[in-house]
Structure 1
Amino acid sequence: MSVQQLIDFFDHRPTELIAQDLLGKTLLYHGPKGTVGGLIVETEAYLGQQDTAAHAYQGHRSKANEPLYGPPGTIYIYQRHSQYCFDIAAQAKDIPQGILIRGLEPTIGLAIMQQNRQRPNFYEITNGPGKLMQALGIQSTDMNNLQMDHAPLTIDLTTFKTPRAIESSARIGVRKNGTWVDKPLRFFVTGNPYVSKMRKREMQLETRGWQA
């Protein structure tokens, strides 16, 4: 992702729209074992100070969540229940809205990702935010505050697939408090088997939810 691509893609658009537009784009990590990655199939939007589920709710700001306050495209990695998760800052500097990458369809470095996860069911390698980070081989916050235009972890906006349909729902794992719990800020590719908690009967295994 070049600097200009970064500017053009975010371009002061609503975080919810950016979260949907990320579906089908290629997430890449140029790691020590080689390049790994895949198509983004699930995201969640978090809308800053007003959002009761956001890390920046009521203006909370700390060393841990400082990347959220960075310019769009800033990497924000954090731990939740001992698992690492990956957010992208989505708005202008000091507007702490972010997008969580929740699911990934592996397309690059499959053998490396399988080795990192050690799961017999291939669909369980990257169908959740902690799982995909394990599969990529990212288990630290060392890349925090880096911009995606010059980081080992980046998004290729030119290599993508287009979803046949996009669905939304309430976010997963949000604590049952506040008025934002049930807001439909989770977005996913309909029928893609790498979406977290996708039921088998809803999986579209032939197309995986992509247009031809």
Structure 2
Amino acid sequence: MLRAASAPVLVDFDASSPEVARALIGAHFRVDGVGGRIVETEAYDVLDPASHSYRGPSVRNATMFGPSGCAYVYRSYGLHWCLNFVCREVGHGAGVLVRALEPLEGIEVMRDRRGVADARLLCAGPGRVAQALAITVAHDGLRLDQAPFVLEMPSTPQTVVVGVRVGISKARDVPWRFGLKGSRFVSRPFP
């Protein structure tokens, strides 16, 4: 288990990716003091054809097969960085994609980075999250319980909604997308 900085509870990054994805809803996540509440995640696993780890380790996805509790950062479609939290044991190949945050700290910094004034659009989508938090490949492999990251798990139970993942072509019907019920900051509405 990894104790997140200043966390009132533990997050077990050695659990399955769906369990970790659900547990992260409502957590506060910051990079160098900029961030907010995690309101949407997606789970991926080595046995999942939509996962980067499905075909085994490679240079691109090596971090997914490393220790749990680290950041896995990759470039999506050659355009956007995306942030995942590695989970399960070393060698397994599982992670949780951070799809959306409710911006709470450093909003003006996020607006400058994104060139967007509407707070709802600052972190609604994985590419937007990475841009707003200035996540790059330099963060790949860094531990989530150490600077520049701060991860604080929610101290009260969160009402979580579940749906199918979005933006993928394989295993589209797998209900491994999790969101904070009623949040207007998710990337796409839940059914």
TM-aligned CA deviation for residue 4 of structure 1: 4.8
Q: Does 1:172 align with 2:166?
A: yes
Cα contact 1:26–1:160 (8 A) shared by 2? no
Q: SS at 1:17's partner residue?
A: helix
TM-aligned CA deviation for residue 132 of structure 1: 1.1
Q: Give identity over the alignment, percent.
A: 29
**How do 1:180-195 residues align onto structure 2 when only pairs under 5 Å count?**
180-195=171-186
Q: Does 1:108 align with 2:99?
A: no
Letter aligned with residue 188 of structure 2: K
TM-aligned CA deviation for residue 14 of structure 1: 2.3
Q: Which residue matches 1:72? A: 68
Q: Which residue matches 1:209? A: none
Distance 2:133 2:41 in 1: 17
Which whole-Å deviations, capped at 9, do the CAs of 1:135-194 have from their partners, x for residues lacking one? 1122x201211211224134123x65643x21111111111x4xx221100000121011
Distance 2:148 2:58 in 1: 25
- Aligned positions, number: 185
Residue of 119, 126, 129 corresponding to 1:129 = 126
Distance 2:82 2:125 in 1: 9
TM-aligned CA deviation for residue 115 of structure 1: 1.4
Q: Please identify runs of 4+ aligned residues in structure 1 that moved more than 4 A.
A: 159-162
Q: Name the Cα RMSD after superposition.
A: 2.0
In our comparison, the structure showing a higher alpha carbon Rg is 1
Cα contact 1:104–1:126 (8 A) shared by 2? yes
With structure 2 as the length reference, what TM-score do the two structures score? 0.89
Residue of 137, 141, 147 corresponding to 1:145 = 141
Distance 2:64 2:150 in 1: 16
Q: Does 1:42 align with 2:40?
A: yes
Distance 1:65 1:154, change over 3 A: farther
Cα contact 1:71–1:92 (8 A) shared by 2? yes
Q: Which residue matches 1:205? A: none
Distance 1:161 1:124, change over 3 A: farther
Cα contact 2:64–2:93 (8 A) shared by 1? yes
Q: Which residue matches 2:31? A: 29
Distance 1:161 1:101 in 2: 20
With structure 1 as the length reference, what TM-score do the two structures score? 0.81
TM-aligned CA deviation for residue 62 of structure 1: 1.1
Cα contact 2:107–2:119 (8 A) shared by 1? no
Gaps of 5+ in 2: 5-9
Distance 1:75 1:94 in 2: 15
Distance 1:195 1:143, change over 3 A: same
